[in-house]
Amino acid sequence: MKILNAQQTKSIDQRATRDYGIPGIVLMENAGLQVVDYLESHFEDLENRNILVLCGKGNNGGDGMVVAKHLHNRGYELRVLLFGRKSDTKDESLVNLKILEKSGVEVQEITDIRAWHDFLPELADFEMIVDALIGIGVQGGVRGFLEEVMRDVNNAGAIRVSVDVPSGLSADTNEIPGICIHADATVTFGCPKIPHIFLPAEEKVGEVYIADIGIPEEAVEAEGVRLNLADPDDLAHTMPPRKVESHKGDYGHLLVVAGSKGKPGAARMVAEAAFRSGVGLVTVATPESVQPILAPQVMEMMTEPIPETREGTVSSKATQRVLKLLEGKGVLTLGPGLTTAAETQSFIRELVSETRLPLILDADGLNAYQGHTEALSGKDRTLILTPHPGEMGRLLGISSDDVQKNRISICQKFSTQHHCFLVLKGHRTLISDPDGNIWVNPTGNPGMATAGSGDVLTGILSGFVTQGIPILHAILLGVYLHGLSADLCATRRGELALMARDIIDHLPDAMAQLLKGGDENS
């Protein structure tokens, strides 16, 4: 599913009319109907609520007039305010204004602050407010008397439902340019827009409902949008089926190089998560002194001791041993718990340069390339990087705050320059492919900000990639299920108590939920 800005939305609407013959008046009618259907399906007591519909004089206001028309036709009590003069209303919005008035609905003009003050004592009489004031095209902050109007609406005790985007937000940015409606819910059309997905604007949109208004999928695809929202219905069909007659060798053999003295848990969680993801075999190569500690912790995995330094980290002498272990393996996962010891970091870079196997590089595997990013390339191999903002910042020589301010552009630029798949972790984890296409993951919660959560993600991704699922599908599926598992745990135990191993425990339930949802919606 695409994530659109204002210009893309307008272009797609125009294409639907120009190339597919769908009149704008039909799109507006469908939009208003979808809002009414949402209200009826989500508010069982709608007939007991006084409803106020706030309309601007543009297309968003036209949508609001369609909403008012159908609410009136279905017998609901409502009031309609037009913020502007009726004589300034044009095109499809004017058509719907005339229909609304001919249906017997009074439309009251609010043209200045005095008119608003005259109405204001009545605002408390309404239990629901439909916001169709401005729409997606606002540039900069709202000015004039609408600032006071929005402030009063936000302070009212009514439920606020916005049409397309809350008025005052722009479809072009996740920033909050000024005063805006604080919506309890937003009904948007065709595809989500940028403020529906990303903080801080995301906090102002409430529940987002994406409504189909009849725009052909081909009209959307022709726009060439690179920003996507991971769709569970699509992901459900990428879950790997099991053949009736099969054995563990059919589902791949993963080699994990991880762990150090004092940090065996990282290797354990990668292995456990990979097994929960369905991989057939996992071998963990870890420092000699760590191997006897790690071996009993996951009964299903195999372990191999490799040369270590005096500090209990992987030695540079381990390279040839690990290259030998890679024979017969499908994927190499490298980094969790290895430490930033200089000799270990040198080992990481040497090993990466010596193998062409599909590679998942995480944690200290990424830290080894601080100041050496020119050596990171997936041009002749599959390369998957999974940094959090701090690790991404170290790779680029910038702060994590700078990464957070420019997440999308940083992902696109790095993944295309280094021909890799990049998973930038955090709220709304981003996945970027070597062509610069980006997917946004909708699952996950703040409880995941805990030690080992990233190791679990690495294990899940490793498990899916090793099974031979197409790389992009494996990554999207892994990131989605990682977050969904945490969401299930948070629902049952709360975010505060969430631990990384809880994510592993809830992974089977997350898989079952994804498959059930996919079957129901297919």
The proportion of the chain whose per-residue pLDDT surpasses 70, expressed as a percent, equals 99
- Rounded to whole angstroms, how far apart are CA atoms 126 and 251? 59
Residue 288 lies in a domain: yes
Please count the structural domains in the chain: 2
Q: In which residue are the tokens 């790389």 written?
A: 471
Q: Using CA atoms, how far apart are residues 441 and 514, in angstroms rounded to an integer?
A: 14
Domain assignment present for residue 454? The answer is: yes
Give the mean pLDDT of 289-294.
Answer: 96
> What's the whole-number mean pLDDT along residues 106-120?
97
The chain-wide mean pLDDT, for the chain, equals 95
Residues 328 and 403 in one domain: yes
Whichever domain contains 395, its CATH number is 3.40.1190.20
Residue 40 has pLDDT above 50, yes or no: yes
Q: Are residues 113 and 256 in the same domain?
A: no
Residues 364, 466: one domain? yes
Q: Let me know whether 159 and 293 are in one domain.
A: no
Residues 150 and 277 both lie in one domain: no
Q: Does the structure show a pLDDT above 80 at 60? A: yes
C-alpha gyration radius of the chain: 27
Domain range for residue 23?
Answer: 6-224
- Answer yes or no: do 325 and 430 share one domain: yes
CATH of the domain at 99: 3.40.50.10260
pLDDT value for 331 = 98
pLDDT band at 180 (very low <50, low <70, confident <90, very high): very high
Q: Which helix (H) or strand (E) covers residue 123, if one does?
A: none
Same domain, yes or no, for 313 and 461? Answer: yes
Helices (H), 326-406: 342-354, 364-367, 389-396, 400-405
For 439, how many CA atoms within 13 A lie in the half-sphere containing its CB?
24
Shared-domain flag, residues 201 and 53: yes
pTM over 0.75: yes
Please check the confidence at residue 327 and state whether its pLDDT lies above 70: yes
Q: Are residues 201 and 291 in the same domain?
A: no
Q: Could you report the per-residue pLDDT of 456-480, keeping only the tens digit for each?
A: 999 999 999 999 999 999 999 999 9
pLDDT digits (tens, 9 = 90+) for 401-429: 999 999 999 999 999 999 999 999 999 99
Residue 1 covered by a domain? no
Q: What is the pLDDT of residues 361-390, one digit of tens each?
A: 999 999 999 999 999 999 999 999 999 999
Residue 342 belongs to some domain of the structure? yes
Q: Are residues 257 and 123 in the same domain?
A: no
Is the domain of 169 the same as that of 297?
no
The residues with which 188 forms a beta bridge, in sequence order, are 210
- Residues 238-290: tens digit of each pLDDT: 988 888 889 999 899 999 999 999 999 999 999 999 999 999 999 999 999 99
| Tokens at 25, concatenated | 């008046």
Is the pLDDT at 491 greater than 70? The verdict is yes
pLDDT bucket at 517, cuts 50 / 70 / 90:
confident
Q: Taking phi first (over 0 means left), then psi (-120 to 50 degrees means alpha), and beta for anything else, what does residue 376 get? A: beta
Name, in order, each residue with C-beta under 8 angstroms of 312's C-beta and a sequence gap of 6 or more.
Answer: 260, 261, 262, 287, 289, 290
23 and 83, same domain (yes or no) = yes
